[in-house]
Amino acid sequence: MTPGVHIGVGLRPPHYAEVLEDPPPVELFEVISENFLGLRAGGGGRPLEALEQVRALRPVRLHGVSMNLGSVDSLSETYLGRLRSLAERLEPECVSDHVCWTGEGGENLHDLLPLPWTEEALDHLSARVHHAQQRLGRRLVLENPSSYVAYRHSTMAEWEFLGELARRTGAGLLLDVNNVFVTARNHGFPPERFLDGLPPAAVAQYHLSGHDDSGPLRIDTHDREVCLEVWALFRHAVRRFGPRPTIVEWDDRLPPLSTLLDEAHRARAVLKETLDAAVALAG
Amino acid sequence: MPRSPSLAELQRWMRWALTHPLGVARATSGEQLARLPERFTEPPARALPVVAADETPGRTAADRLAVYGSGYFSRLHGTLQVEYPQLSAALGEVPFRELAAAHLLRRPSSSHSLADLGEDLAETLRSHPLGLESPWLVDLAAVERAGAEVWLSDAALDEGGLLAANERWEELRLALAPTARLVRLAWDVSEWSAGSEPPPRRSGWLLVWRVEARTGLEWIDDGPGAVLEALARGVPLAEACGMAETLRLSAEAVTTAFAHWRSRGWLLGARNPEGFFGAA
């Protein structure tokens, strides 16, 4: 392990037993918040019992997918209340969600749907991030999702929107490097431009994952290793923003834990090499 | 140039397009579609023109929206498949997809959690041609759902003892543990596995339980099961005993069953009319 470099993996249920039996050499774990909020009636059930055992070993980060921050529906106070209770119980390093909407009209599509990058959306989202932060009693960290759709009536670039959102709300940015790459390819701009447009102080965490490049659009599948181009973009991010807690995510076609740990090991090596090179250059 | 949609108009239209049962391509093609429930009538503010696209095959506006549209169905179908492996195996791939589609139409997700999606799949199945043809599948679905629910429910400490000092046994009320579910069955699906013949008709109850990471099923015959169900509903003990008598259960059988349920932790401590665990 390298001082100042915090690497972890997204922990999914099939790997719990192995992690508890033989804790792997990572500094932290990230879990999907909704998996520990139980059913409509509340409670966290067996998944939360197991997560509390993991929490006794390592810090955890709560990463949500259903806060629905960008929706025109009211924010769910029940959801926020439950998330707050979960955070009080687990004392996570951070609570994050996405810059997106997930449902409308009371219906949850369970997807990270893209917003238009407009002043209307920015005002709307900023007010809701403020409210959620107040309700949770903590700073939120917000991730850029992958997108397949962009809107002609957007008036700013995504990175400008994110930077301004962070400035207005004080929220941190969870920079998903794979998502930047997927979005850039799908909408035809250089991914480095996205990174170069973000305010460095707002970037609080990195995500890395794999995507499907077999069709006309890149699809964020979280079902394979991080590709070479995303590793290169990660180097670019580390040079620009410095080290940040970094999580490797894998959700579909989940491999053995050792494969995720190999990816985490590679992330650590890339971070260290890039930082060493920067130090050498400065010296 | 048409005016830009507001955020509300955009999201309403997107939801319509992405959840349309005929798929994004047909929903947005402008063709006259078959009669569908009112929520699938296209919203007046059409947002398709604001979706940026190029003419490369596979990158048109409809293609881009279809990534989300197909993701919507496959994600929710996949969630149901994970929660209902036995039902999925019993039905086979294509019929299970039909059932999932019918369930999404009847009961689209309104919860933050995908774990609530399968909440009453058994009810969808009950009135679906697949369930009408093979009614035992409804029982199988109910048991699988009970398994998911006990897994996701918190264990409760049995801290009530049995009787508070100021209570009379006749008034004693009990509660079913949150990690236990009692399912009424017309078919004995408790030992059914994929590839087997349909299970025999057998009326009774199945107790689905969890203790830490262990889960299990226990068959309970009609009479004792009805008494347990009454107790779980909060019926006072004297009333439950009266019920047992009406059902012609012997005192010994009732005592044995009661001790068993208590020892397994399925029935939790005393609850007086003022509330749970009403120890003095």
Question: Quick one: average pLDDT of B47-70?
Answer: 92
A16-25: long-range pairs with CB below 8 Å, 24+: A16/A50, A16/A51, A16/A54, A18/A257, A19/A54, A19/A57, A19/A257, A20/A50, A20/A53, A20/A54, A20/A57, A23/A57, A23/A58, A24/A257, A24/A261, A25/A1, A25/A261
Q: Which domains does chain B have, with CATH numbers?
A: 1-83 (no CATH), 152-271 (3.90.930.50)
A274 occurs within a structural domain: yes
Decide if A46 and B151 are in contact by the 8 Å CB cutoff: yes
What amino acid is encoded at B75 in this protein? Answer: R
CA distance B270 to chain A (A): 22
Size of interface A-B (CB pairs under 8 A): 144
pLDDT tens digit string along A181-223? 999 999 999 999 999 999 999 999 999 999 999 999 999 999 9
Structure confidence at residue B69 (pLDDT):
96
CA distance B277 to chain A (A): 19
A272 occurs within a structural domain: yes
Q: Is the pLDDT of residue A281 over 90?
A: no
A205 occurs within a structural domain: yes
Q: Which residues of A fall within a CB distance of 8 Å from B72?
A: 109-111
pLDDT tens digit string along A30-72? 999 999 998 988 889 999 999 999 999 999 999 999 999 999 9
Q: Measure CA B219 to chain center.
A: 20
- A105 vs B12, B76, B210: nearest CB: B12
Mutation test of the interface with chain B: which of A52, A89, A151, A183, choosing the one with the most B Cβ atoms within 10 A? A151
CATH number for the domain that contains residue A146: 3.20.20.150
Instruction: Write b or e for each residue in B22-53: b if 16 or more Cβ atoms lie within 10 A of its Cβ, otherwise e.
Output: ebbbebbeeeeeeeeeeebeebeebbbebbeb
Tokens for A100? 């997106």
- Residue B204: band (very low, low, confident or very high) from pLDDT cuts 50, 70, 90: very high
One DSSP character per residue, A26-78 reads -SEEEEEGGGGS-BTTB--HHHHHHHHHHHTTS-EEEE-S---TT-SSPP-HH
Mean model confidence pLDDT for chain B: 89
A2 occurs within a structural domain: no
CA distance A164 to B269: 55
CA distance A117 to A107: 23
A246 occurs within a structural domain: yes
State yes or no: ipTM above 0.85: yes
CA distance B198 to chain A (A): 31
A188 occurs within a structural domain: yes
- Residue B279: band (very low, low, confident or very high) from pLDDT cuts 50, 70, 90: very low
Q: Which residues of A fall within a CB distance of 8 Å from B19?
A: 107, 109
Q: Is the pLDDT of residue B1 over 60?
A: no
pLDDT tens digit string along A65-100? 999 999 999 999 999 999 999 999 999 999 999 999
A1 occurs within a structural domain: no
Decide if B113 and A104 are in contact by the 8 Å CB cutoff: no
Determine the structural domain holding residue A190 and report its residue range: 7-282
Q: How many domains does chain A have?
A: 1
Structure confidence at residue B276 (pLDDT):
38
A249 occurs within a structural domain: yes
